[in-house]
Chain A
């Protein structure tokens, strides 16, 4: 049978968990920032796709890895700007804007990929981010291999958790962002431009989502495939709800999720003979739904989420 405990104890399992969690951290933090400002960003799936494509393509065309990440973030922010043009400035349905943006961004990614690489039989590859050992720390037994034997992009993901928390909860800008998602009229009364704050938050969040996508093509793999994001964006949306819109809890939720995913891959190797692989692949999606159900009663949505703000309009 499947020996779950044995899997749990291996350093390889933890290393895989950390690897799987990295793009989810970027995506979840990005969505969290948008929603804290009162904007549900369902463009996430498409933004991750175009981030994955543009970062990879940058490197494939001869660019440097880190500038590739910056390029992906820039493209993501640009799509965030499109999103806020619709959802913030025009105040149209955030649901439809997001879905439309996902359809547009992902098909545009595929179009650009096909234009630049018209007929390739084997998917072209880049030299992705390499695993780096942190001296001393990576020698630690168990923990060393799991956490300090990773690519720099993974550490960046973990670094962003306290950073986003600090900015959101300990700085005036963060306060304005959160207030824009709770009580935009009060923000306006302070002489702060709600629309600008929301736009900034959506752009920053979308940039993070795009980096999450780029992680997949530039660190986890070395190539761009069609349908590569495969619902990871939607899972991030579920994780934000699971995390009650808190960065620390988002990390916890994402870790839990990635752990189960890593476990799933290993259990599949042991039990693949008598449980069809499709059921293992279903797990992440089913778990996301379950996570939303568990947290449903406690979910404290930002009060102005989905509510467009129009200056001078009474609520």
Chain B
């Protein structure tokens, strides 16, 4: 068997890739549901209802998709330039740290100034995390995968130190959490009921801006060129190092925004369980979206639905909630195969030229 590059790839095929990857992962995970002794179709129906079945469920699904859109975008931008940023989790927490530092009383401005300021500071903090890994990569060729991964653990411990020590809220009844963000800094709720907040606007605007950046600007062109072929990009006169550094900072900034949105939008204060692995799930979001900034939106909504739905499925059926994480892992693997089948066709050996 051999793989042969397809000459024309139709739009339909490109769209079919994530769809078939999703179905493949649902099919594979159904083995686990059968093992749990539950009916497969009814269980998935329960999951679907849990994610979209009521206004409350829909509200939760969209709310939960906000950080996933932002970490997904962060990963997508970086992976486009083949800069493997696996540190979105840590960058998210740094964005959250910035919001907590500046937003809990240090600065007091009217909301119209306060919120944009927190957004910018959070993005800067997220980007700052990547300065060391990206410079190590461009100057010493130190692998960014390992450095960004290891930094996640360092940052989480640092957050733990802050909220158990100097930043611990004396009013928190002994719980390790930071002081709440002042009212002027909070992102307002969108609906009267439910937890949906204007972090959604941040995520949607970011998706569109990143799409425009990648599609219409020189920066975007350079990022894509570097990702495709570094040597060719260098030959074409693109400053590869500068492009990689720029990409990394954008990526970190986007992940930092996820932290801003979670602290200033959802929770109101910083805790150690702010993110249940949004940074890692962001990788799956980006892959399912085929690294396309606009496709991030449905992709994040889908994975968020899996998590929200799995919670309610595990209440109705005897299936552990870890099924959601299994589905996320499986979808990353399945999309790899499906993307390959989009770009190549399989040909029996012997027929080749």
Contacts and interface: CB of A to CB of B under 8 A. Distances in A.
Interface in B124-142: 136, 140-142
A100 B340 contact: no
Nearest to A100: B332
Contacts of B333: 82, 86, 97, 100-101, 104
Interface stretch (A58-66, A245-253, A275-283): A275-283
Interface stretch (A105-113, A126-134, A157-165): A105-113
Interface in A240-280: 241, 276, 278-279
B113 interface: no
B147 A107 contact: no
B146 A111 contact: no
B141 A299 contact: yes
A100 B329 contact: yes
B98 interface: no
Contact of B329 (A95, A107, A289, A292): A107
B328 interface: yes
B346 to A, nearest CB: 10
B221 interface: no
A90 B343 CA distance: 12
Contact of B142 (A95, A96, A296): A296
Given A241-B146, A289-B150, A297 B140 contact: yes
A297 B339 CA distance: 36
B147 A292 contact: yes
A92 interface: yes
Interface stretch (B46-54, B153-161, B211-219, B252-260): B153-161
Interface string B3-37: 10000000000000000000000000000100110
A4 interface: no
Contact of B283 (A99, A238, A310): A99
A90 B338 CA distance: 11
Contact of A107 (B140, B164, B325): B325
Interface string B337-353: 10110000000000010
A96 B283 CA distance: 9
Chain B interface, DSSP helix/strand/loop, else mixed: helix
Contacts of A241: 143, 146
A15 B304 CA distance: 46
B284 interface: yes
Contacts of A238: 146, 150
A92 B336 contact: yes
A155 interface: no
Contacts of A103: 280, 283-284, 325, 328-329, 332
What range describes how many residues of A lie at the interface? 35 or more
Contacts of A46: 329
Interface stretch (A67-75, A146-154, A213-221, A229-237): A229-237
A9 interface: no
A189 interface: no
Nearest to A86: B336
B153 A278 contact: no
A282 B157 contact: yes
Nearest to B328: A103
B154 A285 contact: yes
Contacts of A282: 153-154, 157-158
B147 A289 contact: yes
A243 to B, nearest CB: 13
A110 B325 contact: yes
Nearest to A87: B336
Contacts of A17: none
Contact of A278 (B86, B157, B283): B157
17 contacts: A92-B337, A96-B283, A96-B332, A100-B333, A106-B325, A107-B328, A108-B326, A110-B322, A111-B323, A118-B320, A230-B153, A231-B150, A238-B150, A292-B147, A293-B140, A297-B140, A312-B352
Given A114-B320, A241-B146, 12 more contacts: A86-B333, A86-B336, A92-B337, A95-B145, A96-B287, A99-B86, A100-B332, A100-B333, A103-B329, A108-B326, A276-B161, A289-B150
Interface of B: 2-3, 32, 35-36, 79, 84, 86, 136, 140-143, 145-147, 149-151, 153-154, 157-158, 160-161, 164-165, 280, 283-284, 287, 318, 320, 322-323, 325-326, 328-330, 332-333, 336-337, 339-340, 352
